[in-house]
Amino acid sequence: MRTRADIRPRRGSRTDMAAAESCGGDGARPDTTVQRAELRLLLDTALRPGESWYLVGIRWFRQWKKYVGFDSWDVIGEGDRCLLPGPIDNSGLFSDLETQSLKEHLIDELDYVLVPTEAWNKLVAWYGYIDGQQPIERKVVEYGLFVKYYKVEVYLLELKLCESSDPDRVISCHFSRADTVATIEKEMRKLFNIPAEKETRVWNRYMGNAYEQLSKLDSTVQDAGLYQGQVVLIEVKNEDGTWPGQHFLPKSSTATSRNFTTSSKSSASSYSSVSATSVITNGDSSNSYGLNSSHLGRGGSGFVCNSYSCRDSAPLSQPGLCGLSNLGNTCFMNSALQCLSNTPPLTDYFLEDKYEAEINQSNPLGMRGEIAEAYADLIKQIWSGRQSYMAPRMFKTQVGRFAPQFSGYQQQDSQELLAFLLDGLHEDLNRVKKKPYLELKDANGRPDSEVAKEAWENHRLRNDSIIVDIFHGLFKSTLVCPKCSKVSVTFDPFCYLTLPLPLRRDRLMEVTLVYADPRRRPVQYRVVVPMMGAISDLCESLSKLSGVPAENMVVTEVYNHRFHKIFQMDEGLNHIMPKDDIFVYEVCKPSEDGSEYVTLSVYFREKTMRQSSSTSGTVLFGQPLLISVPKHKLTVDHLYSVVLEQISRYVKLPLAEEYSTPCPDKGTCNGSNTAVEGDIEEMEHQDGGQEGKEKLTEVDPCHSEGCMQIESARDLQPCKKQHFTFSLVNASGTSEINSIVEGKILKLNAFSALAVDWDFDTRRLLFDEQEAQAFEKHGSMLQPQKKKAVVALRDCIELFTTMETLGEHDPWYCPNCKKHQQATKKFDLWSLPRILVVHLKRFSYSRYWRDKLDTVVEFPIRGLNMSEFVCDPRAGSYVYDLIAVSNHYGAMGVGHYTAYAKNKVNDKWYYFDDSSVSVASEDQIVTKAAYVLFYQRRNSEEHTVPSPPQEECDGMETN
């Protein structure tokens, strides 16, 4: 599975077509207070199955929120017409603007927001949407059987459809998981021109060339277990009443029938539709689509087989070396399952059918034994040696029934699935049928060994399963009150260790500096900034490399040829994501005459003719500018000369005067109501709204060496033809606000946005596209980056056991002081399990920041000695050998999961990448992708019960 592609166009990318052309938006727009109130109410609408919701690009939606003051902390620009969002623009969500197919791995609230139908209709009525873009409508789908869970199905399921008479002709179609098999059949009849009177059968291919009949037409796509990219085949009955493949069907068969479902209780559920299906398995290369008579059942109708494969085939591979098909973003599940499958004591337990006597169907915290049975069936298939890979569809379906967060097809976390699965198996296999009530006792100064023994015995009175036997250990937690020195010691069981990684204190950022001197090309720098620093820190670091004073810098994020954000100096760098395009502008403000200057945003647009009419629209292109102009010189003529000076490096004017023309009449010579050289600019004018407010404070006059005066000596003569015109536009450059009157002083505020409009011929004649996109690289970009620090696993363990002070938002209630205190807290290990699962905490979250730490953690393949970290003085030797690793490649929320695991039969390492299994060597295993580690204790002694009371641990003092 590929990692998420960079979603920002770089310089030189396809120009943004989301300028002025729009559909809808003709209705009267209420004031911002009404918009805010109406949308706030609608956005709280509950999800209901079958209803439609719409995707709105996050960038447009954030701009709308700024304009209406939606968030209480961001009301300074409410009603500012410079912040008008313009028509709804979803171009950032598409991987291809022509087909309008969605990019992979889009994330809710990070890339888009979901709005209900009524909210969408209001936004369209108020603002319209970009001409040519289709609304992205999606349905609400219900997940889960016992725990109902609703979510909007953003990504439809792609199925590959074909006909039995021509299986090589495959047509891809998208379906909702709420669609039925009947819907698929209807679509296939239409695609393959099958008459309505013809009888058909529908089959799905689920493994290699194995086919399974979809006999219940009212089953949903989700219930039938269809997955992304699966082949679905339609078979048309012959004129003589036979089916095309029926001559392969035997008259009798001794094949054993086996039901799809994993327990009799589940057969009555909505998922039982798959238990009534038939299976055709490949084995005869001469047939049309993989029929094999040796696997067909009685009566010529096929036999019912389990969800993975038939059990009566000959061994094909080494037991345990069975890949797992990716069912659509399920690599996280495959990685976790391969690690658990290669945990010998757990796998032996299931292969030897010991679980059957311990299934607890009455445990209210369990899943009626169904997770245990589904897992057992899966493990038996993996270790049967009868196939090189399999599709774990029914296991995923069972997991999704009880844990709806795993029921969809979005990427999830392998460690979170492991946690659910271990807990689910434990409760399904808990030998305790009726859990006793136990009253917790305080340590009250008793020896640690006594308190630990009591805690473990109490734990086993309520929790007794193979999972506890193998995976559970015991923590010691010590809290000390800073006021009264009260010490609280507790012992708690754990199933896995979550270890923190040493955090980086700084980060590298790549930014492009645009100099005030128009003759200089922009320069790209790589700067080192504090991880939790501010924009001012970025400017200081850049100043040291460039020589430009930090106070003369304005930091911006550029997206689709416009300023998506202009940052304040005190804003945190955590607002800037690693892949954002950051441009820093040197803004010089001459101070000789003490004039007040205003900084303006300048966008470049090309006037284009609409295909649907004879009127014109505009297209954004090029790199936007920031210019500073004296307020008393804010006239069209002066702006023209300033902009012309700033773009003189890549706009070459002719020397001759053939472009001279008589002066136009005074009046409104710019904007949508003005005839400019034959083109009529018909833009979306925005009415109403208060005057814009200044966004940024004024910065000091320019002190940088060589800084050019923006005020140009080359003022435009009134009778010389203007090669471009101006329009006052919103912050996105998508809608005009007012026409610009020539000859008058313009009342513009800080960071008002101007559009420089070119006609097609003039742009092609004068504008040097290659030079406009050109930039240079500073030496900091060419220097090899420092090799990332390597962290030892023991460093992570030491960090985990280091004393820390609780935060002010996470205090501890001291029973002595009778109040919450910021106590010191220390974790220690008292006893360790037979299988030690180590979770490296690579992912960090904040409101604006989602990061993955790709630090290389060096962990031993064999001989991990944990004895020094175990506090129990009577503990034996804790030496572990690695048996499996779950890997994660790529960024957070996306990327790909794989696994390394050691086969218990031949003691060789293998690499599991979905359906692919390959031999691996030990030197390949330690990488920055390692995420969850599985260690097995060397000796057979399990040490699941703490040692009897002897003496207190003398290594546990916190002072």
Q: Please state the length of the chain.
A: 959
Other residues' Cβ atoms within 10 Å of the Cβ of residue 118: 13
Pairing of strands 679-680, 553-559: unpaired
The gap between the terminal CA atoms of the chain, to the nearest Å, is 50
What is the C-alpha to C-alpha distance for residues 920 and 903, in angstroms, rounded to an integer? 11
C-alpha dist (Å) from residue 951 to 443, 454, 471: 15, 15, 26
CB 539 within 8 A of CB 609: no
Name the residue type at position 820: H
Rounded to whole angstroms, how far apart are CA atoms 938 and 928? Answer: 26
In our burial notation (b when 16+ CB lie closer than 10 A, e otherwise), range 56-74 reads: bbbbbbbbbbbbbbbeeee
**CA pair distance 397, 401, nearest whole angstrom:** 6
Q: Which residues of 884-910 are buried (b: 16+ CB within 10 A; e: fewer)?
A: bbbbbbbbbbbbbbbbbbbbbeeeebb
Strands 497-500 and 736-738, by their bridges, are unpaired
Minimal CA–CA distance to 214: which of 182, 241, 177?
A: 182
SS (H, E, C) 633-663: HCCHHHHHHHHHHHCCCCECCCCCCCCCCCC
> Which of 495, 896, 943, 953 is the catalytic position?
896
**902 Rama class: left (phi>0) / alpha (psi -120 to 50) / beta:** beta
Give the dihedral sign, CA 159/161/167/170: negative
Token pair of 894, please?
């996306």
Q: Catalytic residue at 685?
A: no
C-alpha 68/C-alpha 39 separation (Å) is: 10
Q: For 170-225, what is the HEC assignment? A: EEEEEECCCCEHHHHHHHHHHHCCCCCCCCEEEEEEEECCEEEECCCCCCECCCCC
**Given the residues 162, 322, 331, 953, the one annotated as active site:** 331
DSSP letters along 92-103, please?
A: GGEEETTTTEEP
151 neighbors 85 (Cβ within 8 angstroms): no
Asked about 896 being catalytic, the answer comes back as yes
Catalytically active residues are: 331, 896
